[in-house]
Structure 1
């Protein structure tokens, strides 16, 4: 039986991309069946694909093999687009998507998670930046192992600092480490808007904003004023953390920012001596919360000594131990996160020309 491109298209219509649960048929172009019996096509996911290429294409290649193609030439061409933001909020030039990483309370590992996810995005081939929005407790300089202050070429804007290949900025670069920021809410939000809009980020696929903990005035104002495409909630399984994490979900719902998912950090502790598994902060709470709010549960991260040691050394796990189980978990969550974002409505406003109506007097 001769297999045509239409047969392949029909097959792809019922074979799902594991990251988005969308049919491959929506993401595949230029299907060609060669006289030699080989097939070639272009796969255009809306998220970066680097290290994960093989695992991502496995269902696709298996489906083509089942159809009788022993060999398939698959060209992967990611197409990362800008996604919709709140109406009336000005986009930041050059930045396609801003993802807010938030938590209902402090101490749940939000900043460590944000930085490792940013590095995982970059590892997949995306251009990435990190903005440290925690004015009262900036930790991104330490996490990325960066000292010094940003340069300014025009005395108006700042050049981002670079850590492990990603751009970043933080109030921590501008004040002494031992100097507390004794600022009221309006001063904080103004400072953060300056950091966001007066940093020369260049062209970025994703800017990760490490939000201040909680759902108070500062976090709410930021969520309203920053052109966020989606938010990520980080929590531990502990009931008190989940109680506050629920408030975080509600806050983003009120300002019409999509919640891309929930991560359960410090989910389980595995004894390094005997291998005993213990759920120190409870079990399954974040999964139940995700089910309650009908948002994706993106995965669990362990309470691991290595994650803390790597973070304190300014060498996060994704780069310090790229082949470790923990780094693999960060990458898996990162892939689910950007895949989830890729399914949201695109930013159409920037694609329309500006129409100017002039009234002439006769």
Structure 2
């Protein structure tokens, strides 16, 4: 077991004890539970037939909010003349070297060659389905894109290319983007690891993007459990109700194994209601099989959860690779 953090050195805080970060109580899962999960995963393997995708061809720039789902939690966000990528993953398989992990179920919803000029990349945490270091290095070499990420992930990213400009943020810290936008790092209920011995040694989180000119608020919810819901209500109190929220809806079964790290669709609806977002869009589903639910289960479960909560279905829709959405954004 490590007694030294290889990624981050800093003062002790309410969520960092000098070695590991923490956000909420998480029970230890033993070997028996892990083996039971793996057996269930194998028995519920997704169909091998790839889903057809028509990749988006985005404009070079957009003043209004435009969101392109690439797949899983990889998103292109165009706003205020800037282009942001969130958790970009383009590999066919997850994991070290892209050789042994879960396989992609569909082509990316945006081809690499069709990317507009990327101004910044937001990386929520270091799990392999969110932090693909070679892609970050390619984005730096092609566009000079800088990276914003929670504490400790900067060390991992710079291993791919020491020249990558990375700004690491603690929860509550912010970074300006251009003349109008700012990115704020806020908590999520999750954890981190790249291997067996570095669990919770880099921070995880979500991002809020604010537009100083229009007062617009975009809330990107990273991987998270629901917990007590306080962190989602805190976003509403600090920034106001988001005009758009990007909320994970997949990788949630079985609850006894992943309920302390991923929300299910019913909890995703609770996040929508807690933060009081005008519109929400579901990501983190249908691209890589990480858990037991079927490939198409999250949208169906989301529809049921919305009906049970009395929320109009048009207020919270699942994202589909290559199908861009343009939520209303305030104009001033």
- The two structures share one fold, judged by TM-score above 0.5: no
Structure (1 or 2) with the greater helix fraction: 1
TM-score scaled to structure 1, two decimals? 0.34
TM-score scaled to structure 2, two decimals? 0.37
